[in-house]
């Protein structure tokens, strides 16, 4: 993973390989089985504070 400065000059935090963040298992669970929709990760002060899942159900036209 390359590390480059963001527009505000702050360096992104790099996750060490093999070290899970506490929210990663939740993210994996939310992605499992999601066919249509989105997962939004909310970050505050470089810390994940919220994860939202919106699932869409597509209806077939008769």
- 9 in any annotated domain: no
Mark residue 10 as left, alpha or beta (left: phi above 0; alpha: psi -120 to 50; beta: remaining). beta
pLDDT for residue 19: 64
pLDDT for residue 16: 56
Query: What is the rounded distance in angstroms from the CA atom of residue 37 to the CA atom of residue 57?
Result: 8
- 25 in any annotated domain: yes
Query: What is the rounded distance in angstroms from the CA atom of residue 22 to the CA atom of residue 50?
Result: 12
- 23 in any annotated domain: yes
pLDDT in single tens digits along all 62 residues of the chain? 444 455 566 665 555 555 668 889 989 999 998 999 999 999 999 899 999 999 998 888 87
3-state secondary structure at position 26? helix
- 10 in any annotated domain: no
- 7 in any annotated domain: no
pLDDT for residue 22: 86
- 20 in any annotated domain: yes
Q: How many domains does the chain have?
A: 1
Structural domain containing residue 42: 15-62
């Amino acid at each position: 993973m390359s590390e480059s400065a963001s527009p505000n000059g702050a360096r992104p935090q790099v996750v060490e390989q093999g070290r899970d963040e506490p929210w990663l298992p939740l993210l994996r669970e939310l992605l499992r089985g999601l066919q249509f929709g989105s997962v939004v990760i909310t970050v505050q002060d470089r810390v994940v504070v919220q994860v939202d899942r919106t699932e869409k159900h597509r209806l077939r036209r008769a």
